[in-house]
Amino acid sequence: MLKQTIQRSLGCLRNCKPHSAHFSSSSIMAKSKFEYVRNFETDDTCLRNCYIVVRLDGRNFHKFAEQHNFTKPNDNRALSLMTRSAQSVMEELDDIVIAYGQSDEYSFVFKRSTNWFKRRASKLMTHVASQFSSSYVFYWREYFGEQKLLYPPGFDGRVVLYPSNHNLRDYLSWRQADCHINNLYNTVFWTLVQRGGLSTSQAEDRLKGTLAADKNEILFSEFNINYNNESPLHRKGTTLVWEKTDESTTKKIKLPQEEEKEITVTRTRKKIAALTCDIIGDEFWEEHPDILENDS
């Protein structure tokens, strides 16, 4: 019986048309009895005419920061590495029109009309997360030098849709307001610990129930620190946008019956710019009108 089965199989192979083996195999597999399992996949296509936002957050980054001796309250090396990783994502997926990052998170906004990965949420999220995570590891030494990366960092992601320009701006405003709130608290907390001599539990008790004005007063009256003079990178986070720049190069050409001469060629290219500015007010959006698409 086995011998007959083998002979029949060989006969089928001899009678096949000379297409590539890969194509024939794929076709057979696609029509196999196991194909029904594809019906278990859920449709995660993102609704059209909506901005797609993929937000990444560091997984258990408090522990990661402690074990890698991040400077408190802000480590510029870590913030710069986050931004470099985000730039890598934007370079890979140029349908991302703006990205905003602070602390251990970054939000990536795909333009409303994008059709990357057929707008599948799982594909968009996993591609952003994998590109970001691998870039974080790849560029680690560029920012931390000989300090060893003790273990791979983890980032989780989510996909959220925003149907209008107003909704998207409110989302980004929320993230920047969150940056301000967290950084003000952390600045006061670590100033009380590092310069005020309090333990972490004492500093936490001191700040319970305080408002923003109270925190500003502690910094100014006790430590002569004006919070408004702190680095915009820490207070406002980082905004990544595409900006057009003109690049000029000189070329030598030789025309028939003429001497060789030099000409200047100017090309317009898109580059990613990292900004530390306010994105809650109107000024930023008026200066960057290409980010938002018409609501109509």
Q: What is the pLDDT of residues 105-147, one digit of tens each?
A: 999 999 999 999 999 999 999 999 999 999 999 999 999 999 9
Q: Given CA atoms 173, 230, 140, 93 in this order, what sign does their dihedral have?
A: positive
What integer best gives the mean pLDDT of the chain? Answer: 89
Contact 155, 134 (CB under 8 A): no
Annotated binding-site residues for Mg(2+) read 57-58, 104
Question: Hunting for tokens 């030494």 — which residue is that?
Answer: 141
Annotated binding site for GTP: 57-62, 103-104
Q: Which domains does the chain have, with CATH numbers?
A: 2-40 (no CATH), 51-236 (3.30.70.3000)
Nearest 5°: phi and psi at 51?
A: -70, 135
- The pLDDT tens digits of the residues spanning 168-192 come to 999 999 999 999 999 999 999 999 9
- Going by the annotation, the residues of the binding site are 57-62, 103-104
Q: The tokens of 242 are what?
A: 């595409």
What confidence tens digit (pLDDT) does each residue in 233-258 have? Answer: 999 999 999 998 876 677 777 667 66
